[in-house]
């Protein structure tokens, strides 16, 4: 049995989902020889604490559920930030689950850099650092002999990056296409069933799929970040967000979608990239698909990704693209991969 | 860079496919620090040889293509069998690709046992040893500190076992259902399009999907073996082939399938297993599905598997279920997993 000392940065939906999954998966992880000790949680909204003897995830969840500050946890020590935490205690793995900032990476990028520099493995669900600075961070991880994992940045906990990294290793993946933004897919499904764009958006917001400011989803920024991450990690590209031809769903007319649906076509926000020799092409755009296309069959908030490979032809994976348990699971799966890669 | 000395047992379609993939994936593997030296090939039909300095896969393929015996390979030493080979040279990984024997495991079972006992990692595409003796073999692998991997036993190189082992680790997989026999699915697709059972079988044989004796496919034995493998490896069950309720497609009437297709239903040979507390249920049987079911949408020889999980809900993966390159790839992907698990 190996004990991994984990620190969670960001204790909102994703961080709490990870804590819940650590509880739910405890015996399954133990059966793999993987024991987890949660040694710290950082979040300005609920309090930042460390405790080298370990914090019980159940108790942390119960405290935040009751509106208590984590600094009241018996025996825990308040800390100012990640640097302060890393100065005070030993950490093996950082779960980075702060909100995504696609402009400059924000605090998530600072966290990932600081952890890797300190020789700490990183599992992150934060698209910012990976979409903006993957090459630099991967190099830093290599130098320090630790892993940088980001399963939760694309399709939440649906294990697409692990699939590509190990299962498709050596298969010659040359392109991918998918539906990677569940909010847009839900809205398009609603629109082709008769709702207007405004009604579909309001329904997505009511159900918690879309933010109050939906621009990140409906203008394709979120999907573009995922294309960059997949292209760079899976196709070995070195793309930036500016390299992705991006068009959102805001210009689509619901009447047109309904007419096309009657003719057997479905509009989907398709995210794709392709390697052609040394060239890489990447795009996010609404595409009119025949109903026989697997992407057309996907309705609602789910995600679907199809890899095109030399050895296997098409391999597709479908699953949730968001959700507390699903995204929390991504961090646990990354931990299992780190555990496996360390040699058992 | 770590060099892995690989021996291939069985140099028919799958073994040759693996050799081809080792050539095609050489630079991709090298980029992961994984170098492969093919130190032996065993096959009574084309000759069994070892060569500690390494055999060029291209040359082996060219020789068998021209009908030459591998014992003519310059500098290679003829061997009688696997024990003889392991006595003469050092081997790190066995690729076991002999034909499946679901009665008693056949030579494949002997190979896997002997290799593990000698401290050699095993990657196998042979369903026999895994469906019949997984618990015993996995225990032997643990004792000897080596890995036993079997990606190619289910859905050929479509990485379903890796997906479950790492990507879904801790996700709480409680059941799965899928279409795991491409021959039957091709025949059912043909029958619902107007062909008789006999015509569909003849077409499957013409295209190389079905054997001359198709019983293993059409009576559900092949799918049942895959259910046992998935249930034991993914659900932690300890099933035997006798525990699977098995019904093939031989009793299906093409007229009925066509009538049902007109009503929006599709018949599929569904392979499934479920964990309920300490109980495990497993079955292979033709099922009439509504056309909205993802398994209904699968036509032709492809495979599709849906895992039901606590953290992620449904996660599905689709890809080829057979084929030379696809099955050969499975062995390469298993090697990459062994390489990763050894710590880089």
- Determine contact, residues B79/B40, Cβ cutoff 8 Å: yes
- Average the pLDDT over B292-300 and give the result: 91
- Determine contact, residues A17/A330, Cβ cutoff 8 Å: no
Restricting to B residues 30-59, those with a Cβ less than 8 Å away from any Cβ of A are 32
- CA nearest neighbour of A272 among A257, A294, A287: A287
Spatial CB neighbours of B81, under 8 Å, sequence gap ≥ 6: B42, B48
A-B interface: how many C-beta pairs under 8 angstroms?
168
N residues, chain B = 344
- Determine contact, residues B151/B335, Cβ cutoff 8 Å: no
- Average the pLDDT over A32-37 and give the result: 96
- State the pLDDT confidence band at A342, using cuts at 50, 70 and 90: low
In 10 A of CB A175, how many CB atoms? 18
How far is B108 from B117, CA to CA, in rounded Å?
14
Q: State the smallest CA–CA distance between residue B153 and chain A in angstroms.
A: 14
Q: State pLDDT tens for residues B206-254.
A: 998 988 889 999 999 999 999 999 999 999 999 999 999 999 999 999 9
Structure tokens at A299: 């309705």
- Angle, CA of B134, B137 and B142, to the nearest 5°: 120
In this complex, is the C-beta atom of A123 within 8 Å of any C-beta atom belonging to chain B?
no
The beta-carbon neighbor of A170 closest among B168, B312, B332 is B332
Q: State pLDDT tens for residues B305-323.
A: 999 999 999 999 999 999 9
How far is A129 from A236, CA to CA, in rounded Å?
17
Q: State pLDDT tens for residues B148-207.
A: 999 999 999 999 999 999 899 999 999 999 999 999 999 999 999 999 999 999 999 999
Structure tokens at A166: 């190990």
β partners of residue A236: none
In this complex, is the C-beta atom of B172 within 8 Å of any C-beta atom belonging to chain A?
yes
pLDDT at position B342: 65
3-state secondary structure of B303: strand
- CA nearest neighbour of B249 among B294, B289, B201, B293: B201
Spatial CB neighbours of A193, under 8 Å, sequence gap ≥ 6: none
Q: Which chain B residue has its CA at the smallest distance from A164's CA?
A: B159
- Determine contact, residues B288/B263, Cβ cutoff 8 Å: no
Q: State the smallest CA–CA distance between residue B6 and chain A in angstroms.
A: 16
Task: Calculate what percentage of chain B has a pLDDT beyond 90.
Answer: 93
pLDDT at position B279: 84
- Determine contact, residues A96/A115, Cβ cutoff 8 Å: yes
Backbone phi and psi for residue A272, each to the nearest 5 degrees, phi listed first? -150, 160
For residue B226, indicate whether it is catalytic.
yes
- Determine contact, residues A296/A256, Cβ cutoff 8 Å: no
Kindly provide the ipTM of the predicted complex, given to two decimals: 0.95
Structural element, H or E, at residue B326:
helix B324-341
Q: State pLDDT tens for residues A185-234.
A: 999 999 999 999 999 999 999 998 988 889 999 999 999 999 999 999 99
- Is residue A198 classed exposed, middle or buried when 0-12, 13-18 and 19+ CB atoms within 10 A define those classes? exposed
In this complex, is the C-beta atom of A145 within 8 Å of any C-beta atom belonging to chain B?
no
- B93 pLDDT higher than 60: yes
* Alpha helices per DSSP H over chain B: 13-24, 26-31, 57-65, 82-88, 106-117, 127-144, 160-162, 182-192, 197-206, 215-218, 221-234, 254-262, 324-341
Q: pTM higher than 0.90 for the full model?
A: yes
- A23 pLDDT higher than 50: yes
Structure tokens at A249: 């769903």
- CA nearest neighbour of B114 among B126, B103, B105, B122: B122
In this complex, is the C-beta atom of B296 within 8 Å of any C-beta atom belonging to chain A?
no
- A226, A268, A275, A280: the catalytic one is A226
Candidates A95, A166, A323: best to mutate against B (most CBs of B within 10 A) is A166
How far is A38 from A44, CA to CA, in rounded Å?
18
In this complex, is the C-beta atom of A328 within 8 Å of any C-beta atom belonging to chain B?
yes
- Is residue B232 classed exposed, middle or buried when 0-12, 13-18 and 19+ CB atoms within 10 A define those classes? buried
């Amino acid at each position: 049995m190996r004990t991994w000392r984990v620190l969670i940065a960001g204790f909102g939906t994703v961080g709490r989902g990870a804590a819940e999954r650590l509880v739910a998966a405890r015996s399954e992880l133990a059966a793999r020889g993987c024991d987890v000790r949660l040694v710290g949680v950082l979040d300005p909204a609920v309090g930042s604490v460390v405790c080298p003897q370990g914090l019980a995830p159940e108790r942390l969840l119960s405290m935040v559920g009751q509106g208590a500050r984590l600094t009241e946890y018996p025996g825990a020590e308040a800390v100012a930030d990640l640097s302060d935490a890393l100065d005070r205690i030993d950490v093996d793995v950082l779960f980075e689950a702060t909100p995504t900032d696609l402009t400059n990476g924000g605090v998530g990028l600072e966290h990932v850099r600081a952890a890797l520099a300190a020789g700490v493995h990183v599992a992150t669900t934060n698209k910012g650092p990976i979409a903006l600075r993957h090459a630099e961070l991967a190099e830093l991880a290599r130098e320090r002999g630790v892993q940088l994992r980001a399963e939760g940045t694309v399709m939440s906990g649906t294990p697409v990056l692990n699939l590509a990294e190990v299962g498709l290793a050596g298969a010659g993946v040359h392109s991918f296409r998918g539906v990677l933004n569940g909010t847009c897919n839900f809205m398009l499904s609603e629109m082709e069933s008769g709702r207007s764009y405004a009604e579909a958006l309001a329904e997505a917001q009511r159900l918690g799929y879309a933010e109050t400011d939906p621009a990140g989803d409906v203008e394709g920024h979120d999907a573009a970040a995922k294309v960059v991450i997949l292209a760079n990690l899976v196709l070995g590209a070195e793309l930036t967000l500016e390299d992705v031809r991006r068009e959102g769903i805001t210009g689509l007319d619901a009447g047109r979608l309904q007419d096309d649906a009657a003719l057997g076509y479905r509009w989907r926000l398709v995210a794709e990239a392709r390697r052609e020799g040394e060239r890489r092409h990447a795009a996010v755009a609404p595409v009119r698909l025949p109903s026989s296309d697997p992407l057309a069959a996907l309705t609602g908030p789910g995600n679907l990704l199809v890899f095109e490979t030399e050895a296997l032809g098409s391999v597709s994976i479908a699953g949730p693209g968001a959700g507390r348990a699903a995204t929390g699971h991504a961090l646990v799966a990354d931990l299992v991969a780190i555990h496996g890669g360390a040699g058992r």
